[in-house]
Amino acid sequence: MAAVSNAGAARHDRAPRDRALRRQQDAENFPVALRLLPRQLRTGLVAVYDVARVIDDLGDQAVGDRTVLLTAFRRDLATIWDGDRTQHQSPQQQSSRHPVLRRLAPVVAAHGLEREPFERLIQANLVDQRVHRYATYAQLRGYCTLSADPIGRIVLDLFGVGSPAAIELSDRVCTALQLIEHWQDVAEDRRAGRVYLPQEDLAAFGVAEAELDGAVASPALRRLMAFQVNRAAELLDSGAPLVRLLDGWARLAVAGYVAGGRAALDALRRAQGDVLAGPPRPRRRDVARHLPLVLFTDHQPPRRRSSTATNRRRGEVG
């Protein structure tokens, strides 16, 4: 009876955290685990999402020394793979893992997930504690190899997909989704002391950082955001042929991510570059509208950047 009571108490203690994670899922641009997927796959995707969300929350919202908290979570995470060290642990010791890691452990075992992508997610948040600006777009893309690309690689692993071509296209999709999220959250990030808009682009479009503190975007900032939205859209489109390489449930899940990204781009375009009035959020009906197009369109290989893109880079936009 004592064991049953303890288990019930643990479930009761976990419930508020789980509800918060589900609310965060609902706020995402893309369906974290499409309802049509088999339960086992949904469970795996949600477990991965929950770990990534907790890592981000530790890096963005936690009270106290976030570097210390992230480092402690990294040690906790490592116990999933350090079997030789943990196999003789008592149930009490094993239950000391963070709840999201206890749910991740069987997913790792079932799908043979590697530790390195999760480590990169933690490293991205450690970088956030000391790097608050990016001089160039290339540097921002480099950050996305830590903060975004690992998610796609984990998702591919869940579906048993590991071809170099699929991984390369997945990285493009994930980086594009990360950039889209940054452009939605310009005002929120600014309040947190971070500016993801590359300094070279702010200068090229004549936007001072102080303008990001305003209630309404200036004409120059609107032009800059139009450029960033178009660039993110081009990157997402260049990764969309990934869907064509996949079959079955993997095809549906990844198409959902791409459709979510395109719906978020629609929201940004409706805002006409005014990302300061509030984060432009996608509409579910737009995700539903894009999904069949992503699933059934014969995607063409990505085209090279055009000269018009170079002109926009220089601020020559209307």
Nearest Cα neighbor of 182 from 206, 201, 156 is 201
Whether residue 146 is found in the same domain as residue 191: yes
In which band, very low, low, confident or very high, does the pLDDT at 31 lie, cut at 50, 70 and 90?
A: low
Whether residue 137 is found in the same domain as residue 253: yes
Q: What is the pLDDT of residue 34?
A: 65
Residue 173 lies in a domain: yes
Whether residue 186 is found in the same domain as residue 298: yes
Residue 32 lies in a domain: yes
Whether residue 93 is found in the same domain as residue 139: no
Whether residue 165 is found in the same domain as residue 309: yes
Q: Are 50 and 100 in contact (CB under 8 A)?
A: yes
In which band, very low, low, confident or very high, does the pLDDT at 306 lie, cut at 50, 70 and 90?
A: very low
Q: What is the pLDDT of residue 299?
A: 57
pLDDT digits (tens, 9 = 90+) for 186-195: 999 999 999 9
- Whether the full predicted model's pTM is greater than 0.75, yes or no, is yes
Residue 136 lies in a domain: yes
Helix, strand or coil for residue 133? strand
- Single out the residue in 115, 150, 177 at which a domain terminates: 115
Nearest Cα neighbor of 37 from 289, 196, 256, 183 is 256
Residue 11 dihedral angles phi and psi, to the nearest 5°: -65, -40
Question: How many structural domains is the chain composed of?
Answer: 2
Residue 124 lies in a domain: no
Residue 267 lies in a domain: yes
Whether residue 165 is found in the same domain as residue 310: yes
Rounded CA-CA distance 134/296 in Å is: 37
Average pLDDT value over all residues in the chain: 85
pLDDT digits (tens, 9 = 90+) for 132-170: 999 999 999 999 999 999 999 999 999 999 999 999 999
- Single out the residue in 51, 80, 115 at which a domain terminates: 115
Residue 269 lies in a domain: yes
Residue 125 lies in a domain: no
- Domain range for 89: 1-115
Residue 46 lies in a domain: yes
CATH of the domain at 314: 1.10.600.10
Whether residue 174 is found in the same domain as residue 280: yes
- Single out the residue in 88, 115, 142 at which a domain terminates: 115
Whether residue 237 is found in the same domain as residue 316: yes
